[in-house]
Amino acid sequence: MAGQMKLLLGASVLILATVPCWSAPTVAGTTNLVAAENGGRIAKFSSQAVDENGQPLAVWSVTNLIDGKYVVGSHTPADSYGWRSRGVPAADRPEWIIFELPETRLISRVVVDPTTDDPEFLGRWAKSIRVSVSTEGVDGPYKTVGSYLVVRRGIKQSFDFTPVEARWVKLDITENWGSDFAVELGEFEVYEAIVGDDMLDQLIQRLSTLLDELKRYRDAERYQQHQASIEAVTSRPEPPAEEAPAAQQ
């Protein structure tokens, strides 16, 4: 763990050191542009889970992706388990969601939280994703900005790319972690690229992003340690019968 932390800090110093070299310097802002509370909305999507009568299941609704509610450790918001598809995604048949920003903005980062109410071992969480953008219309044309692997851990994961203008952001999910039932995702966030010449402002932005990353890292480590201690306790073997209190009375 100490080694990983050192690596993370080393990388951070490197990031800070490279700031003055950028020809058109930008940093990711701190406002999630697709959050419902910031005016973001879901324009279209491939599917969402339904009940036996074909009615959408609110707890697995696609709108849960931008509701600002997260599954953290053993805590699940009562009305928001994440989003669950109806089908299983594949490279030639992805599950997808189109997010609409209130207006066209220059963006450079998406953040994915794969965590849902279902445990990761069911293999339903999103694994392979592709992000593309359009400024022309909800139906495109779309320009791909990147394809990414979402690791199988219940933590927020950031993906940065060269700043690009976007009004609609399309998320294609081409693979889950092995389930033949559905694909799931907890939350999806989009961040603006802030262009500026003020080095101090940029440094502050960069450091604040870095602090967020470190906090997420620390929380994830604590969560893992907590889980490990729970597993250690629950997997403790039963004491032999002769040592049981009942046998001593």
Residues engaged in binding Ca ion (CB under 5 A): 64, 67, 69, 187
Least separation, in Å, of the C-beta of 65 and Ca ion?
A: 6
Cα gap 93→88, rounded to integer Å: 9
Cα gap 129→96, rounded to integer Å: 9
Least separation, in Å, of the C-beta of 67 and Ca ion?
A: 5
Comparing CB distances to Ca ion, the nearer of 35 and 195 is 35
Least separation, in Å, of the C-beta of 40 and Ca ion?
A: 12
Least separation, in Å, of the C-beta of 20 and Ca ion?
A: 37
Query: Do 174 and 102 form a contact (C-beta atoms < 8 A)?
Result: no
Exposure b/e, 106-128, CB count within 10 A at least 16 = b: ebbbbbbbbbbebeeeebbbbbb
Comparing CB distances to Ca ion, the nearer of 15 and 58 is 58
Query: Do 173 and 93 form a contact (C-beta atoms < 8 A)?
Result: no
Cα gap 131→159, rounded to integer Å: 10
Least separation, in Å, of the C-beta of 149 and Ca ion?
A: 21
Comparing CB distances to Ca ion, the nearer of 62 and 101 is 62
Question: Residue number with the shortest CB distance to Ca ion?
Answer: 187
Burial class for 155, CB neighbours closer than 10 Å (0-12, 13-18, 19+): middle
Task: Report which DSSP code applies to 195.
Answer: E
Comparing CB distances to Ca ion, the nearer of 80 and 176 is 80
Which is nearest to 105 in space by CA: 206, 205, 193, 209?
Answer: 193
Comparing CB distances to Ca ion, the nearer of 62 and 107 is 62
Least separation, in Å, of the C-beta of 77 and Ca ion?
A: 7
Helices 199-234, 2-18: axis angle to 10 degrees equals: 170
Comparing CB distances to Ca ion, the nearer of 100 and 187 is 187
What amino acid occupies position 82? G
